[in-house]
Structure 1
Amino acid sequence: MYYLSSALFFPPIDQANRDGILAIGGDLSPERLQLAYKSGIFPWFEDGEPIIWWSPNPRMVLFLDELIVSKSMRNILNRDSFKVTFNQNFREVISNCQKIKRDGQNGTWITNEMIDAYCNLHELGIAKSVEVWQNDTLVGGLYGIDLGHVFCGESMFSKVSNASKVAFIALVNQLKKEEYKLLDCQVYNPHLESLGCREIKRDDFMKILQGNN
């Protein structure tokens, strides 16, 4: 495992261990975060831990045309009971992602340090958010890193049923309009699979990320 210094550098991603851990240390500066995402790497660690950098194999992704929208979800969308906006309240979205309780998790990996770091990226136009509103109240949303042809999803939250799905579907529809290649979802979970996401080899992901596919 590689221990990062202050130098702006990551080792080759094929040096990641079986779990996908590539390196430890470094910082969450805008420059390092941008280099990480462009290299197929992302930070994921809990409060009190050093920064841990990951590049898992396989990689969970959504090919945009493979989005699954159930009949019941289509009915919810047709009711227009939610309003969707983009990049209107990034800090509140990421803060809600930090606070929301999740099954099987005692804490959160979104530390206050990470919130500040991603808000800095948002001010640079790199980190973006989707907000879902109900009666002028923020009830769901997601955020991630926009690489111009690939969107790297980070986290989503829902305070009412289906709000995060509304955000996810709205994001995918927008990415399709702008002819993005892929939505990166990082690691497997069954909820993402139910929306059409699937695992691919890291090498295949990197070809798309680097514009070779």
Structure 2
Amino acid sequence: PALGLSLPGNTTVGAVAPAAAAPSAPPAFPSRLNGKRLADIMDEFRMRLGSQVTDFVTQAQVVDQMDRELIVQRDRALRLQQSTAALKQGTDAISSELELILHHQDEMHAALSQLEQKVEEEGRNFTDRPGDRQQAYTLIDNLDRELADTRDLLSDTIGRLNAATPLEDGSSAQLARMVQVLDVHLSAFQWLETNAAELDQQLSNADIALSAVYR
């Protein structure tokens, strides 16, 4: 029913009663579910859920394998780091030993240089040279052979003279004087031979001392 309100000035305003509310429409289902039974819908959901579970398990296995590989690589990297640290430590030790060896080598080289310089300085003090010593040895050898030959010749001559001594007194006296002369010569040659041996021994001693200095 209409309601009227009186306003000043005898003005009447009419109010219209609200109309009744229209009933709400039922919710619309997805088009893919229209005309399907609940069992079919549940089966479809179950299949889709199973497929998703399978995909998830597969992805989880892949992630697990990747985690295992990462762990292996991590362990390998740790071992490599330890090996590198040990190798660096060994390298540092070897470097220290090499430096010590080089230091000793430098000291030995300096000592050898001083020794060579000393040997050269002492070698200049010797007036003889290897060629002079060789000539002296050759001369001594020749002299020794000549003395030996002369001694043998004198010994043989004296022996033959003694064996062929005549019976005459005058001849015996002359022969005795000849033997005495030959004996004197033989003694002189023996003395020369003895001195030559001493000289050869002195030269040998000097050569040995010089060789020891040049070693």
Query: Does the alignment reach a TM-score above 0.5?
Result: no
TM-score, normalisation: structure 1: 0.16
Q: Which has the higher strand share?
A: 1
Larger helix proportion of the pair: 2
Q: Whose relative contact order is higher, 1 or 2, with alpha carbons under 8 Å and at least 6 apart?
A: 1
**Normalized against structure 2, the TM-score is what?**
0.16
